[in-house]
Amino acid sequence: MERLLIKDVLSDKFIGKQVIVCGWIRTKRESKDFAFLIISDGSTQDTLQVVIPHEANCSEQIQKCNTGASVKIKGFLRESPAKGQRYEVEAQEIEVIGESDPAKYPLQKKGHTLEFLREISHLRPRTNTFGAIFRIRNVLANAVHNFFQDRGFLWVHTPIITSSDCEGAGELFSVTTFDFKNIPRKDDVVDFSQDFFGKPAYLTVSGQLEAEFLALSLGNVYTFGPTFRAENSNTTRHLSEFWMIEPEMAFADLKDDMKMAEDFLRYLFKEVTLKCEKELLFLQNQYKRISPDEISKLSDIAFTHITYTEAINELKKSKENFQFPVDWGNDLQSEHERYITDKVIGGPVIVTDYPKDIKAFYMRLNDDEKTVAAMDVLVPKVGEIIGGSQREERLEILEERMRKTGISIDNLQWYLDLRRFGSVPHAGFGLGFERLVQYITGMINIRDVIPCPRTPGEIGF
């Protein structure tokens, strides 16, 4: 007989049938005639109640059934006569697989703070909160692939180690095999010709540049992989290692790009409400941040579009006391983004046509020569979840922008080749996966939606 998952066992189909389930004990309670265990196995938000009659002769095992221990239970599923759960298993055999010392087990029945749980990231997936978050993450990851695969996009694998700085922001982690005690130097500067790759190498900040060459041969592609930013910002929405989804489409302009981003988000909102009902409800009850209904509504609405210039005008009109100055030409800070989403629009919004000086070199210059064909998708509470643009497909203009922004033309000759040989209008965007999960789960801190958060000064686990 095979082990069943709790998510599958809890159904009328198994009533009266013998089942085997395995899991970890949340609690144990004993009465005169019975011992009761609550166990979970990560397959569902639900826990399973196991009732062990004392005559079952398991007393030695019951002694070892402490919170945190792992168990294998064989018994019959039945409707529970008591309140609190619909089904329960009446155990015939119980085996403690791995014991747990209740005096030392860090997860106690009383609620723990999210900060404390971050210190035990290796055990927090056993809690209701993190079980819910990681199951939601899984459903969303699968939905990402389904969305693009259904539309004929190829999943491409862009490199993790690269020699270019796609965003041009200099927030790069170096990759080197130099012996730090003895770094080779020539004319008083580091001699990278002696390093592993013969020149400076970094962890990628984005797979976009490579996705562009793949799109300009294969049509429509997307990446879904880890990206790294050595950005020294200790905020609730920045990670040093995060996952990004970057579609890139040939023969597409900014309008097509925005449409794709909207369709994509709507699809993800729909999938998650269909497949994670229990998880979303649990998180809403626990944290009172976002309801499954709100997310479900998002899957139907059209997003509001405004230009950067209109956003600046709205911010200027407001009576808010912003920490950062509001001036045409300055980047929107998260306080500004939140004002626009939460107070002006009251929902997700796409902001377009940002000043060229605050955006990356590859974005297509608009006819006004001051702004670029960029778009950011902002959502309430979180702010920017998508950044994208139409790409500059005109060789001379791109070269000029690279020169002005200090991007190495020598290093990116291959990128310019795409404009030399069969250039076409093309566009794409990047969705920050953790920002999406953060928005949908309502978690305040992005560190709580990824198993092992990496942030400045933090690399446990």
The residues that touch Mg ion, with contacts defined as CB under 5 A, are: 387
Min CB(117)–ligand 4AD separation in Å: 20
Nearest residue to 358 (alpha-carbon basis) of 314, 389, 396, 380: 389
> What amino acid is encoded at 268 in this protein?
L
Q: Which amino acid is at 206?
A: S
From 87-95, 98-106, 334-342, 430-438, give the range in contact with ligand 4AD by CB under 6 A.
430-438
Taking the complex as a whole, how short is the minimal distance between the CB of residue 166 and ligand 4AD, in angstroms?
A: 5
CB of 376 to Mg ion, least distance (A): 6
Task: Return the number of other C-beta atoms located less than 10 Å from residue 193's C-beta.
Answer: 10
d(CA 60, CA 93): 12
137: contact with ligand 4AD by CB under 6 A: no
- Distances in Å between the Cα of 135 and the Cα atoms of 36, 107, 138, 284 are 27, 20, 5, 15
Which position's Cβ is nearest Mg ion?
387
Site string for ligand 4AD, 140-179 (x = CB under 6 A): --------------------------xx------------
Give the residue among 62, 57, 14 at the shortest CA–CA distance from 35: 62
Rounded distance between C-alpha atoms, residue 33 and residue 61, angstroms: 16
What mask of x and - would describe binding to ligand 4AD in positions 213 to 232, judged by CB under 6 A? ----------------x-x-
- Check: CB of residue 225 under 8 Å from CB of residue 162: no
Q: Give which of Mg ion, ligand 4AD, none residue 385 binds (C-beta under 5 to 8 Å, depending on kind).
A: ligand 4AD
CB of 241 to ligand 4AD, least distance (A): 8
Instruction: Indicate the residue among 68 and 388 with the shorter CB distance to ligand 4AD.
Output: 388
**Exposed e or buried b for every residue in 46-72, given b needs 16+ CB within 10 A?**
bbbbbbbeeebebeebbebbbbbbbbe
Among 310, 335, 342, 384, binds ligand 4AD (CB under 6 A): 384
Contact between 192 and ligand 4AD per CB under 6 A:
no
Applying CB under 6 A, among 133, 239, 311, 351 the residue interacting with ligand 4AD is 239
340 is a contact residue toward ligand 4AD (CB under 6 A): no
Cβ of residue 437: shortest distance to Mg ion, in angstroms? Answer: 18
Fill in the amino acid letter for 74. Answer: K
Residues 193/199, Cβ–Cβ less than 8 Å = yes
Residue 238 interacts with, from Mg ion, ligand 4AD, none (CB under 5-8 Å by kind) = ligand 4AD
- Distance between CA atoms of residues 28 and 68, nearest Å: 10
Q: At which residue do the structure tokens 């940002």 appear?
A: 354
Residues that bind ligand 4AD (CB under 6 A): 166-167, 206, 208, 229, 231, 238-239, 242, 244, 246, 384-389, 428-430, 432, 434-435
